Structure 1
Amino acid sequence: MGFLFVVSQAQKWVAEKVRPGDIVIDATAGNGSDTLFLARTAGTGGTVYAFDIQSEALEQTRNRLESEADGESLAPVTLVHDGHEVMKDRIASAHHGKIAAIMFNLGFLPGGSQAVITQTPTTLAALDAALPLLRSGGILTVVVYPGHEGGQAEADAVLAWASEIEPSLAQTVVYRFPQKAAAPYLIALNKR
């Protein structure tokens, strides 16, 4: 058996930190894969916020939640049609500092227009907003995609951001397949 793909590794690490009843964020709803995972993991007593700037992505997420739940008890999901950089303003203030996990999956909507991609300035603003929302022991994961136009610059910026985090604030790690320079990779942070 080989190593887990980066998205699966992100979910594995998040599953180790999130407990039923927790508050979690999917910063990039996309096709809803991480949103569904977070709703299952947080359970009925939990809360999920899912952000995306594309109404098509939020519709795909809503459809995935409805079709793949299979009668499971999921956390309620608030779909937020806005950029992840405003998450601090869109998350209930009572939840600030109490978020167990925040997941980012950068790039473009699978099957959607590749002209609409996450942007480095808003991604960095979102990461800055996310850090104080996390509780002590909370996890932040970012899957970056250097293989598409603009992706390498964004990946480099996220890596630089993570590298500059004070070790007293959080521990950071990179999970990457070095033989494939253009392959997606994972940058994660565990808040102290």
Structure 2
Amino acid sequence: MKLQRVLPYAQQLITQAVTSKSHVIDATAGNGHDTLFLAELVQDGHVYAFDVQEEALKNTKERLGDLQERVTLIHDGHECVANYVKQPVSAAIFNLGYLPGGDHNIITTPKTTLRAIDEILDLLEVGGVIVLVIYHGHEGGATERDAIIDYVSEYDQKYIHVLQYQFLNQLNSPPFVIALEKAKAFPQ
């Protein structure tokens, strides 16, 4: 057995939940790596990619190349997902922290991230996943990490399965994954 690194593991979780016709969300478009990955998976579906920074959306658009028609780039925070996405989604991915190569003072925050998680869970199909790649080695990162862990730990396991995947013996606050799988529809 070979343990997967965090990013390949995150992609594996997404791949298992998505079909070529899925609608999916990249909650933090960043430099477009996840948006491109999702666009390649959903040939007949659609990707909604959010970011608060125009620079991130520009980088993402450039990275997409010919796959731009599969993606809607949204210049807004992920906490506003319900304003834009109206149909069920199979998966969503977050890379929390700051834009690599960008302004390190612009970071994701617990308030907006927790709201986004709740909004996406309402849209998520049974069997769908939300994958959060949590980068916490920056100012504000530990606060967001702890808030997310505390929050998702309270989900009722009948409806949401919560997984944490991380390497414990790596230095310098390595990123880790929290995955949420919708096991059952919420009661009405």
Report the TM-score when normalising by structure 2.
0.92
- Deviation, 1:4, is 2.0
List runs of 5+ in structure 1 lacking aligned partners.
none
1:188 has 2:187 as partner: no
2:77 to 73, 80, 83: 83
Residue of structure 1 equivalent to 2:94: 104
CA deviation map 1:122-159 (0-9, x unaligned): 11111111111100100000011121111011011111
Q: CA deviation at 1:75?
A: 6.2
Residue 74 to residue 53, structure 1, CA distance change in 2 (3 Å):
closer
* Contact 1:46/1:75, CA 8 A, preserved across alignment: no
Aligned residue in 2 for 1:120: 110
Aligned length: 182
TM-score w.r.t. length of structure 1: 0.91
Structure 2: gaps (5+ residues): 184-188
1:59 aligned partner = 58
Supply the AA of the counterpart residue of 1:37. Answer: F
- Alignment match of 2:156 (pick from 137, 147, 166): 166
Question: What secondary structure sits across from 2:92 in the alignment?
Answer: strand
Q: Tell me the amino acid that sits aligned with residue 130 of structure 1.
A: I
Counterpart of 1:131? 121
Instruction: State whether residues 61 and 68 of structure 2, in contact with CA within 8 Å, keep that contact through their aligned partners in structure 1.
Output: no
| Aligned-residue RMSD, C-alpha | 1.5
Shift of 1:180: 2.8
